[in-house]
Amino acid sequence: MVRVVITGIGVICPAGGSTEEFWNNCLSGSAAVTAIPEEWALYSTFSSTIWAPLPPIDFLKSRLSRIELMQNDTTALLAVAASDQALAMSGTVAKMVNEKKNTYALEAIDPLRAGVFMGTGIGGIASFAANEGHQLYAPVSAALRSNPGGDTASFDAIHRLLRYPPRFHPFAVAMSMPNTSSATLGIKYSLNGPNLTVCNACCAGATAIGYALKAIRNSEIDWALAGGVEYLRDGYGGIFKGFDIAKTLVNPGADPASANRPFDTARSGFLFAEGGAAVLVLESLDHAQKRNAQPLAEILSYAESFDAHSIMSPDPSGTQSERTVRKALDEAGMTPENIDYINAHGTATPANDEIEARLIERVFPHGPLVNATKSLTGHAIGASGAIETAVTALSLCTQTVHGCKNLINPVRPLRFVQKSGAYPIQTALTQSFAFGGHSAALILSRC
Amino acid sequence: MSEPTIEARVKAVITEVLKIDQSRLVNTAKFKEDLGADSLDLASMLMALEEEFKGSISDEDAKTMTTVGGAMETITRLSASPSFTSR
């Protein structure tokens, strides 16, 4: 059987703008929580009023030009920036092949046997929202200017609402389509193998990595960029409102900094992340050894299933989620006792954490370590499964596990990691569950 | 140091987008036929010029910008209009 290893990790999310910064912040328990953008209040009221913002990102430090920053949706920029980090970590050298297009070829990688697998929940929706804003408001603004009418105060108030980009973007279609990130990566690094976008909501990042694993294991390809990306900030707060009106988001309470508390009895919903990306370099062990790339962790298995229950709520029985975990164990040739650490989905919604904690209790009575990375990052939807796979690999590689921030009274008596520290772990599970009814699980081991 | 001229700023944008030597930017040079630009390059150039001059270029004005000289004439004309730089 072809063994598949991770040789590079790139992460950009609210907990850090680089893999190193991110991992250090995970271990120190540093999380970004701020008020949502003030301008959204022009358009609506919100029950949840906090989010996890991205750190400042200088995309020009990646293989991106100023012109590309104008041409691309933020998800594509995040994907390239995270990929550049992953390539650097995996010792993959990129040589420019077209200066005008700013595209590259990767040394020691056969482009015909190299693929891209990216997960996203809603792709370039922020670009769609911006262009829709232009489409709606530009003619209204022009009409008001030509015939203001009414009193000046009303006119000014209306104009304050008419915020929209100066142009309808000529690349609107390319920026809005869900596959904008995977296609951008394939073009950027001249990769001709399978190029797939997975859109199964909060499982997307994990599923994309799972499909890359399968493609390498089937010897369809030798090497892949795989991960997830999301960008959820629009000018009007409409994307946030969708999650807010569904009553999925955290209640800020008296202390917003500690409101996000996965697996705690006082949890109230998830902390919405502005966005994020995690991209892994995956390759066969043989391929990695031939090019002297250092394996960080091995991926043993991937499994998935579907609740067929509700588009918005997980099946309370957890039947299919449990089947996913057991299938992943079977495929890895493992029993539950082999799992030392579980990186849980842990959104902090009342339903998810209750069902997930009971699932862990049923399947893993021996008490593996459990943590929830979303306690630090918030929930970056389609990127989250990839971010958490990155955390699982970093934990195995460094033999260190981060704590569950803000967890004081656990919902179930699991072996939650309260404080970051050194733990001897050989094999780990990361699991994701999603709107729609999807579940996905990856099992990784130490190299 | 004096401010760069409109001509210099337009040429800098064209060079940045098309990645060609400024010596090729003679007034009669056609973007598509002489400088190898495709439709995406032209769209990118318009965006970059709008960004540089902080103004909006209409579709009608864009149609006049098929040559280097045409682009400079159009931007010079638009720059003289107060509404161009007030977006």
| ipTM of this complex prediction, to 2 decimal places | 0.90
Distance CA A41, CA A35 (A): 11
Put simply, the answer to whether A100 touches B47 (Cβ < 8 Å) is: no
* Residues of B whose CB is below 8 A from A166: 50, 56, 87
Q: In what order do the strands lie in the sheet with A195-198?
A: A195-198, A114-119, A223-231, A275-284, A4-12, A297-306, A438-446, A427-434, A341-344, A369-372, A415-416
Put simply, the answer to whether B43 touches A99 (Cβ < 8 Å) is: no
Closest CA to A434 of A174, A215, A182, A230: A230
Which CATH code of 2.40.220.10, 3.30.300.30, 3.40.50.300, 3.40.47.10 fits the domain covering A4-124+177-445? 3.40.47.10
Q: What is the pLDDT along chain A (447 residues), one digit of tens a residue?
A: 999 999 999 999 999 999 999 999 999 999 999 999 999 999 999 999 999 999 999 999 999 999 999 999 999 999 999 999 999 999 999 999 999 999 999 999 999 999 999 999 999 999 999 999 999 988 888 888 776 666 777 777 787 888 888 889 999 999 999 999 999 999 999 999 999 999 999 999 999 999 999 999 999 999 999 999 999 999 999 999 999 999 999 999 989 999 999 999 999 999 999 999 999 999 999 999 999 999 999 999 999 999 999 999 999 999 999 999 999 999 999 999 999 999 999 999 999 999 999 999 999 999 999 999 999 999 999 999 999 999 999 999 999 999 999 999 999 999 999 999 999 999 999 999 999 999 999 999 999
Comparing alpha-carbon positions, the chain A residue that sits nearest to B13 is A67
Put simply, the answer to whether B47 touches A70 (Cβ < 8 Å) is: yes
Distance CA A41, CA A235 (A): 11
Put simply, the answer to whether B47 touches A166 (Cβ < 8 Å) is: no
The verdict on B19 touching A (C-beta cutoff 8 Å) is yes
The verdict on B52 touching A (C-beta cutoff 8 Å) is no
How close does chain B come to A75, measured CA to CA in Å?
19
In A273-399, the DSSP E strands lie at 275-284, 297-306, 341-344, 369-372
- Give the amino acid at A431: Q
Tens of pLDDT, residues B25-72: 999 999 999 999 999 999 999 999 999 999 989 999 999 999 999 999
Provide the 3-class DSSP secondary structure of residue A64.
Answer: coil
Question: In this predicted structure, what is the pLDDT of residue A162?
Answer: 87
- Give the amino acid at A99: E
* Residues of A whose CB is below 8 A from B87: 166
The verdict on B51 touching A (C-beta cutoff 8 Å) is yes
Question: In this predicted structure, what is the pLDDT of residue A150?
Answer: 66
Interface test with chain A among B13, B20, B51, B86, by most A beta carbons within 10 Å: B51
Closest CA to A303 of A204, A441, A206: A441
- Among candidates B41, B44, B56 on the partner chain, residue whose Cβ is nearest the Cβ of A167: B56
Put simply, the answer to whether A170 touches B46 (Cβ < 8 Å) is: yes
Would you say the C-alpha torsion A354, A431, A256, A251 has a positive or negative sign? Answer: negative
pTM for this one?
A: 0.96
pLDDT band at residue B1 under the 50/70/90 scheme = low
Put simply, the answer to whether B44 touches A99 (Cβ < 8 Å) is: no
Put simply, the answer to whether B48 touches A100 (Cβ < 8 Å) is: no
Supply the residues of B annotated as catalytic.
38
Question: In this predicted structure, what is the pLDDT of residue A160?
Answer: 80
Question: In this predicted structure, what is the pLDDT of residue A428?
Answer: 99
Distance CA A110, CA A37 (A): 45
Q: Where along chain A do its domains lie?
A: 4-124+177-445
How close does chain B come to A201, measured CA to CA in Å?
31
Comparing alpha-carbon positions, the chain A residue that sits nearest to B35 is A100
pLDDT band at residue B85 under the 50/70/90 scheme = low
